[in-house]
Amino acid sequence: MAVTLLNPEGLPEIDVYRQVSIATGTKLVFIAGQVAWTADGATVGEGDLAAQVEQCYLNVATALAGVGGSFDDVAKLNVHVVDWTPDKMPQLLEGIARASAKLGVTPVAPATLLGIAALDVPEHLVEVEATAVLD
């Protein structure tokens, strides 16, 4: 694998991501922000943050598979949530857990969670982008 994930001593250990990724591969892959769309452009889970997070992660996995990668190759995730408040964390984590169960992986690359005002259309509540490194 081209990406090693770790939590250096002296930094908090967070369950849902690692603090650092070390990339040693030769090919950088930048995945555009994925929203809760199906392949035909229909929005999944209107008004349901967990369902939309799940679909976003599934879409990232599809994009990665399309270039011969997987979540094991992800060096960094950015998660953008509309009108973020800390009370939404259980829904976010539920969506990640559901996607993880379907994919058979736990995506724990370093991640940044950003609260934002809006996305491309009002129905979208979350967008997930990824940077991966392949050998």
What is residue 11's three-state secondary structure?
coil
Give the pLDDT of the chain (135 residues) as one tens digit per residue. Answer: 799 999 999 999 988 899 999 999 999 999 999 999 999 999 999 999 999 999 999 999 999 999 999 999 999 999 999 999 999 999 999 999 999 999 999 899 999 999 999 999 999 999 999 999 999
Output the CA–CA distances (angstroms, integers) from residue 91 to 29, 39, 42, 87, in the order listed.
28, 23, 21, 8
How much is the pTM? 0.94
Type of residue at 79: V
φ and ψ at 49, to 5 degrees?
A: -60, -45
Cα distance from N-terminal residue to C-terminal residue, the chain = 7
Residues 6+ apart with CB under 8 A from 69: 29, 132, 134
Residues 6+ apart with CB under 8 A from 94: 50, 53
